[in-house]
Structure 1
Amino acid sequence: MLKGKKAIALIQARASSTRLPMKQFRYIGHKRVIDWIVDRLLSIEEFDKIIISTSYKKTDSIFVNYADEKGIDVFRYKGDINDVVGRHYYAAKKYDADYITVISGDCPLIDKQFIKKQLYKISQGYEYIRPAGKEWFHEGVDTYSWGCFEFLNNEIKSKYTRENFGINLRKNPDLAKIGLVDIKDVFSKKLCRISVDNMADLRFMNALYRELDEKDKKFNLLNVVELLKDKPGLLNINNHVEQKQKDDKTYRFVIKTEASQKIGLGHIKRMMVLGKYLNENKNNGVFYLINNDLLAKDILEKEGYIYDYKIASSQEELIKEVNFYNADILIIDVQNLENMKYHFEKIKKNTSLKKIILVDKYIESDNVGLFIMQGIQSDKILNNVKNNEKVISGLKTVFVSQKLKKIEESKEKLKNKIVISFGGTDIYNVTTTVLKVLKEIKIDKDYKFSIILGPYFNHHKKLNKELELFPYDYEIINSPQSIISIIKEAKLGIVYYGVTFYEFKYLGIPTIDVIPGKEYCDEFNKLEMLGLGHSVGVHNNINKNSFNKYINNIDNLKSPNYSIGDLEYVYSKMISEIEGD
C-alpha cells in the first residue's frame, strides 16, 4: 500500500511483436528481458501487485506459465489486441487499483528509485507523472491515477492513440494534473535507445552486460551511463535504429534461404544482411524459412535468431508458414530454384502475399513482382531480362553489411597484410590450392598472409600439410567473430564469390579473384573490365603467371571505386506498388 492506497505495476507485454517476436524471453546475459524487469519491480515494496498485462492471443499464453513461475499475476484482455489503454484499464479495474505504473515489457533497465519517485509524486494528488525537462534517459515507465486511466479509456477514440495512449497526455498536458519528477543530472540526457525492439537493440544490451560483467558491475542504468562515457563506440551497435513513427508503414517479410556444406553460406549470410536492414533500419518484421540442415539452423541461432525461423522444404510447408506469419512479401534466394517445384500462382492464390521476390533467379511469371539480380551478371542472363521492368541488377543491388558503412570513411590498410578468404565452408578447398600456387611464386616484398578459415572448413589435414613448407609469414584465423575488422586492414584480398567477395570491393581493397566455376567466367571478366578485381582463372585451373603478375604489383593494382550496396534503393523497389507505395 502507498499511504493507504493500492498501487500496482502493469507490465505491458505481447509475445507477437512484429519486429522481434518473443522479445521478452530473449536473453541479456544470464537472464531474460522480462526477468530483469520483474526482478527489479519485486524489490519495490510500494507495489501491492505486479501484473503482466497482455492479450488473449494464443501466443500470449506463455505469460501465464511465466507469471506462475515468478509468483506474480497476469491479466489477459479479450478485446482488440491493439487497444492497449482498454487492456490496462480493465486490468486496473479488476485489481481495484488507485495508482497504476505502466512498465514497457521491453525495457530491462528500469530504475527502482525513479519508479519510487513517481509513486510518491502521484500520492500527492496528481493524475499523471512524468520526468521534468524535455529529455531524459530513462524509458518505459509512466504512473497514473485511477481517475486519469478512466478518463483516458473513455475519451481516447482513435486506433493509434488507444495503442499509444501516453502520447495523448504528453501532447495535451491540460487534460490532467501532471506532476513532474526531478531526475538525476546523469539521466537528464538521452544517450541511446534502451528498449529492446529488434535484434540490434538486443545485441547492444548484451554488449553492455558483458562489459559490466567483466568489470564486476551490476547491469543497471547508472552503470550503463558511466560505461557509455568510457566506451562511446558501443553506441554504434544500434544507433542506426530509428524509432517507429506514427505514419510509418511496416511489412512482414518472409525470407526463404538455405545453407549447407555443399551449398556454402553465401545465400543465408547475404539474406541475413538484407533481413537486418529490413528489420533494424526500416522497422519491418522478418521471418526466415530454411532448408532442413543443421548448418543453416546453427548460423541463425548463433546470431540470436532463436524464435525467428522455421524449416520449410516443400511448397506446402512454405505456404503454411507464410500464412502463419501473415506475410506481406516473400523473398526467395535458393540455389536450385528449378528443383523446388514452386508454382508461384498457387503460392499467391493460397496466401495473402502482396509480392513475391526472387533473388539471382529469373523466370517468366506474372506472379513474381520483382527480380533482384545482384552485382555483375552474365550477358546470357541479362539478355533474357533486358527489357523487363520488374528486374533490377548491378552493383547497387548487392546486399552489403551495414557495418561497413561505419568504417568506410576511416579505413586504415596495413602496409603488408594480405587476406585470404574463401567463405565459411570453402567447398572446393581453394585455400589450399592458393597456398600451393603461392609456394611456387617468388614474392618480392614482405607480406603477412591472414588466412581466414570459416566455421565449417573441413580440409585442415590438406591445409596443414601445405603449410609445413610455406615460405611466407602467415597467421591462421579460425571462425573470426568479425571478418570485417580483419579485411578492412588488408592491402590485398584473395577471394572468390562468397560472403566477403563484395565487402573487399566496397572498401576499395584490390583483390585477386578466383573463379568458382566456368559458368561464372563472363561475370568475372566484366568485373575485371570495370576495375573491380583481377581474375586468375577457375579454382581448379589457376593461372600461375597471372597470379605472379598481380601479387608482385600490388601497389599498382586498381582499387575499386564504385558505389556498391544501396539497400535504400533495393527497399524502395521491394515495396513499390504495394498499397499505393
Structure 2
Amino acid sequence: MIVTIIQARMGSTRLPGKVMKNLAGKPVLWHIIHRVKRSAVSQMVLVATTTKPEDEIIQSACRTWGIPVFRGSTEDVLQRFCDAIRFLERGRSKTSYIIRITGDCPLIDPFIIDDVVHTALSKNYDYVSNTDPPTFPDGLDVEVISRAALFTASKKATLMSEHEHVTPYIRKSNEFRRCNITSRRDLSGLRWTLDNEEDYMFIKKIYDDLFRDSKDFTTQDVLNYLRNHPNLQKINEKIPRNEGYKKSLAHDTQMMRVQT
C-alpha cells in the first residue's frame, strides 16, 4: 500500500492557522487533499496532526471530508509519521511507501507526485524526492520514503532537526539508497509555498483567478499565469527557502555547543 501523509497543524509560527485559511471558498487543507487525491499511485490519504486542542478543527474538518486523521507528537514529527503508519495499518495491508506532503503546499502537483513514486518503485529506492537539490518551485516538494527507511530513521536519529523534519537523517545517512528527480528547467527560484502572509496573498490571487470546481489547474497553468502577471511574484520572492529547517539546524548547533 502506498500512503500519502499530509503533515498539518494550526500552530504555524509565521502564519498561524494557515491550513484552514480560505482559498476560493475552501480551506487550504481541502485543496491540498483534493490535489493529492488526483495522484494515480497514491492509494490512501491520511492527515497527520498534533494532539493540541487547537488541532481539533483539523480532525473535525477531515471527518467531514471523509479523510482519516492521526493525532500525535507535536515536536517529534518523525515519530508522528511512524505512529500514523501503525495506526493506518490496523486491519489493513502493510505500507510499502509513504508520500510526505506538508500543509504549506496548496499548489502541489499530482503528476510530480506520480513521477517521484514511479522513480522509487523502478529501483526500490529507500528515498526519492524532488528537493535535493531543488529544481522545482518551492511548494511543489514531494518526498517518497520506504516504510523500512522511515522506521530505521526513527530508531537512529538523534538530533532535534532529524525528528522535527522527518527526513534529514535519511538524506544525510549513507545507509539508504536515494535518488532525486529534476525539472527540465530550473524553477527553484520560484516561491509557491505557504509560510507567510505574503505567500498567502500570492497564492490567493492564483486561486481567485485559476480555480474552478469543474477544472483543476496545473503547474503549467500557473507558470502561464505568472508569465502574464510578472509583478505578482515580487510579493514573496525575497523570502528564503526552508526557513523552518534552517532554524532547527541552528538549534542543533546551539545544543551541541552547550553539551561540549
TM-score range with shorter-chain normalisation?
0.7 to 0.9
Picking from 215, 236, 239, the partner of 1:238 is 236
* Aligned twin of 2:21: 26
User: What SS does the corresponding residue of 1:123 show, helix, strand or coil?
Assistant: helix
Is residue 49–residue 73 contact of structure 1 (8 Å, CA) maintained in 2?
A: no
Q: Secondary structure at the match of 2:104?
A: coil
Map residues 161-200 of structure 1 onto 2, 5 A cutoff: 161-170=162-171, 172=172, 174-183=174-183, 185-186=184-185, 188-200=186-198
Aligned to 1:87: 80
SS in 2 for 1:174: coil
Spell out, residue by residue over 1:395-441, the C-alpha distance to the aligned partner (whole angstroms, 9 max, x if none).
xxxxxxxxxxxxxxxxxxxxxxxxxxxxxxxxxxxxxxxxxxxxxxx
**Residue 117 of structure 1 aligns to which amino acid in structure 2?**
D
Q: Which residue of 2 aligns with 1:148?
A: 149
2:109 matched to which residue of 1?
Answer: 111
Q: Deviations over 1:132-156 (max 9, x none)?
A: 8733224332110001101110111
Q: Which whole-Å CA distance do the structure 2 matches of 1:50 and 1:126 have between them?
A: 21
Q: Separation in 1 of the partners of 2:148 and 2:224?
A: 39
Question: Residues 12 and 26 from structure 1, CA distance in 2 versus in 1: closer, same or farther, beyond 3 angstroms?
Answer: same
Tell me the distance in 2 between the aligned counterparts of 1:51 and 1:196. Answer: 20
Counterpart of 1:355?
A: none
Which is higher, the Rg of structure 1 or of structure 2?
Answer: 1
SS at match of 1:95: helix
The one-letter code matched in structure 2 to 1:164 is H
Return the letter of the residue paired with 1:135.
P
Does the C-alpha gap of structure 1 residues 145 and 248 become closer, same or farther in structure 2, counting only changes over 3 Å? closer
**Counterpart of 2:125?**
126
CA distance in 2, matches of 1:195, 1:218: 18
- Say which of 203, 206, 209 aligns to 2:207: 209
* Closer/same/farther in 2, CA of residues 89 and 100 from structure 1, 3 Å limit: same
SS of the residue aligned with 1:14? coil
Structure 1 residues 165 and 248: CA distance shift in structure 2, 3 A: closer
Shift in CA distance, 91/191, structure 1 to aligned 2, threshold 3 Å: same
Which whole-Å CA distance do the structure 2 matches of 1:165 and 1:68 have between them?
Answer: 25
Does residue 47 (structure 1) correspond to residue 42 (structure 2)? The answer is yes
8 Å CA contact 2:3, 2:99 repeated in 1: yes
Give the TM-score, by structure 2 length: 0.82
RMSD value over aligned CA atoms? Answer: 2.5
Hey, what's the Cα distance between the residues in 2 that align with 1:173 and 1:67? 35
Alignment match, 1:560: none
Is contact 1:51–1:74 with CA below 8 Å preserved after alignment? Answer: yes
Map 1:175-574 → 2, pairs under 5 A:
175-183=175-183, 185-186=184-185, 188-212=186-210, 218-243=216-241, 244=243, 245-246=246-247
What TM-score results when the alignment is normalised by the length of structure 1? 0.39
Change (3 A) 1:146 1:217: closer
Distance 2:100 2:132 in 1: 20
1:123 and 1:13 mapped to 2: Cα distance?
A: 26
Matching of residue 64 in structure 1 with residue 65 in structure 2: no
1:470 aligned residue: none
Q: CA deviation at 1:165?
A: 2.9
Q: Is the 8 A contact 1:11 1:50 kept in 2?
A: yes
* Shift in alpha-carbon separation, 1:85–1:132, aligned structure 2, 3 A: closer
SS at the partner of 1:189?
Answer: coil
1:17 aligns with 2:31: no
Q: 2:17 corresponds to which letter in structure 1?
A: M
Q: Relative to structure 2, which stretch is displaced further, 8-17 or 135-144?
A: 135-144
Residue 92 of structure 2 aligns with which residue?
A: none
Displacement of 1:40 after TM fit?
A: 1.3
Shift, 1:218, TM fit: 4.7
CA distance in 2, matches of 1:169, 1:232: 37
Q: Secondary structure at the match of 1:246?
A: helix
Task: Name whichever structure is richer in helix by fraction.
Answer: 2
For residues 111-146 of structure 1, give each alpha carbon's deviation from its aligned partner in whole angstroms, at most 9, with x where no partner exists: 111111222222231110123873322433211000
Please state how far the C-alpha of 1:209 moved relative to its aligned partner.
Answer: 2.5
Q: Gaps (5+ residues) in structure 2?
A: 90-94, 252-260
Aligned length: 239
Distance 2:131 2:195 in 1: 25
Is the contact made by 1:217 and 1:223 (CA closer than 8 Å) also made in structure 2? no
Alpha-carbon contact 1:40-1:110 (below 8 Å) kept: yes
8 Å CA contact retained: 2:39, 2:114: yes
Q: 1:83 to 1:143 in 2, by over 3 A?
A: same
What secondary structure, in the 3-state scheme, does the structure 2 residue paired with 1:175 have?
coil
Q: Distance in 2 between matches of 1:128 and 1:19?
A: 29
Please tell me the residue identity of whatever aligns with 1:231.
Answer: H
Query: Aligned-pair distance for 1:65?
Result: 1.3
Contact 1:200 1:241 in 2 (8 A): no
Task: For structure 1, list consecutive stretches of 5 or more residues without a partner in the other structure.
Answer: 1-5, 251-581
| 3-state DSSP of counterpart to 1:143 | strand
User: Could you say if the C-alpha distance between residues 46 and 217 of structure 1 is closer, same or farther in structure 2, counting changes exceeding 3 Å?
Assistant: closer
Higher relative contact order (CA 8 A, sep 6+): 2
Q: Output the amino acid matched with 1:60.
A: D
Q: What is the distance in 2 between the residues matched to 1:210 and 1:41?
A: 20
Structure 1 counterpart of 2:168, which letter? I
